[in-house]
Structure 1
Amino acid sequence: MKLPPEILNDILSSLDVDESVIIGPKVGEDFAVIKIGEKYLVVHSDPITGASKHIGWYSVIVPANDIATSGAKPKWLLSTILASSEESAKKTLKEIAKYAKKLGISVVGGHTEVTPGLPRTIVSSTAMGIAEKLITTSGAREGDFVYISKGAGIEGTAIIANDFERLCIDRGVPEDILQRAKEFIWEISVLEEAAIAAKYATSMHDAT
């Protein structure tokens, strides 16, 4: 569960940043931005705590989506893996390597360990990219048109269908609907849409 905005604001207000930081810790913005010469280094971290199945895919695409909504192309990834077992650590690493390669993202570091007593594996990933033109969440203006590229709620639906399949069946969810809901997991990427929209958008946000 995320901290309430008022508590988070109080904590973040005590943090100092240097003059190269364009966007630092802030409620409402999904990424940090550091000025590097004439370009912007965009950085975002995300924990994967709500899903167990396909955790490697989520560990890559969730932070990559946030980088893409800044107008940058996600290029680099670091993942901290707190695994419930050695087998889970190996499986998660292989998944991360597979999907990062597929998306043209280089895994440049991180940390992997087997954490005793952990009921399931948890991953926290940091993605980075370079932007020439910066798009921020706060760039939205009154009168802007709002577009959604896919259906609402597809990530949460996919997690429920994949991680709580037995519960869905017991509650009477039809098999065809359950299978369709599972497939939503492969539709949560916004990388292509963000690359196109970056030329025109005043603000972008992903649903992951």
Structure 2
Amino acid sequence: MKRIVITGTSRGIGFEMVQLFAQQDCEILALSRNPKPVQELNLSNVTALPFDLASTKDLENVESFLKENWSSVDILINNAGKLVNKPFTEITAEELFSVYQTNAVGTFQLTQKVVPMMKSDGHVVSISTMGGVQGSLKFPGLSAYSSSKAAIITLTELLAEEYKESGPSFNVLALGAVKTEMLAEAFPGYEPPTTAREMASYIANFAQTGAQFYNGKLLQVSNSTP
């Protein structure tokens, strides 16, 4: 039974991944500021904890849970994201810090807590965006979001190098348009060709098999623009 930690599980891709992994008899720790949607699934192999990537206490609670209940972690999926869609000069310091705390700093800190419990064949998969890829098409209003997600790409490359002798493996997926609430906030009225369930299925499969073929890699997962 694989043990999997997933962030951002209250809706969208994260919520779908919880259900997909649960069907495969995995043991899942689902982390989200709102654990209720996952708790209401009543899945015996899923634990949903209230979790804010900006909270030092919540990070410590996750660390304690893992040490007390799990002997190891097989997969960590850094899926949580926060978006502000505003003109550059209108983004406040509070909004900027909040976006970076969730998308970059909190992801960094959670990975610090989980990696020591992972074996050499473990896999850390972080979710970025096509907007964070150098040379990709960029869109106005997303300066805070896309730049914070770009940081995760470089972090992945650095961690793969740092752990290349001992493992685990680290990879990052830059997603294109997926039909989620967050995409609707960024591009109101746009109908993407990919559903949250379809993307969740792809990520779940990659998380379990991708470490055999990739380490420290950015994979662009997009069939549309945006």
Specify if TM > 0.5: no
Q: For this structure pair, what is the TM-score category when the shorter chain's length is used for normalisation?
A: 0.3 to 0.5
**Rg larger in 1 or in 2?**
1
Q: Which has the higher contact order (CA 8 A, sep 6+)?
A: 1
